[in-house]
Amino acid sequence: MHFLLAAALLAAPVVEADPICADIQRLSTAVAEPAAYAALRESDFVPRLLTDCRRLTVGYSCRQMLLPSDITQETMAKRIMACLPGATIAPGRSWPNLKRAIVTGGGLVFELEESRAQLAQVGRTLSIDIKPGRSRRR
């Protein structure tokens, strides 16, 4: 029991220090209440997960080309999961030359997709689509 408590205390500063967690937690808090989520979406808020994030009809879409080596679909999925207690990662639908994952937690679904085209003109590309979870009511 003491080991688990110590591990949780050591992990907490890492999550708090990750700059994407504040935005993810803000989305998660808002999505629990339809009026709060609508107000957040009407504001100028967009999550700062990748270099280009924008609002969609329901959620948000983030993209980045020419990814540095430390930003991958796997590392971003783990970072997102660490920001949302109880979140899970599942493999996305298989598709040639793409790595996919789905992170679910905090009332949100994050769909990550990374191209494997290292030699393409735009290098590897990562996209993250964020939507409210299915349990959210309108």
Q: Which of 130, 132, 126, 129 is nearest to 51 (CA)?
A: 126
Element (H, E) at 90: strand 88-91
Residue range 98-109, pLDDT digits in tens = 899 999 999 999
Pick the more confident residue, 102 or 94. 102
pTM of the model: 0.81
Q: Which of 90, 87, 108 is nearest to 100 (CA)?
A: 90
Average pLDDT over residues 25-52: 94
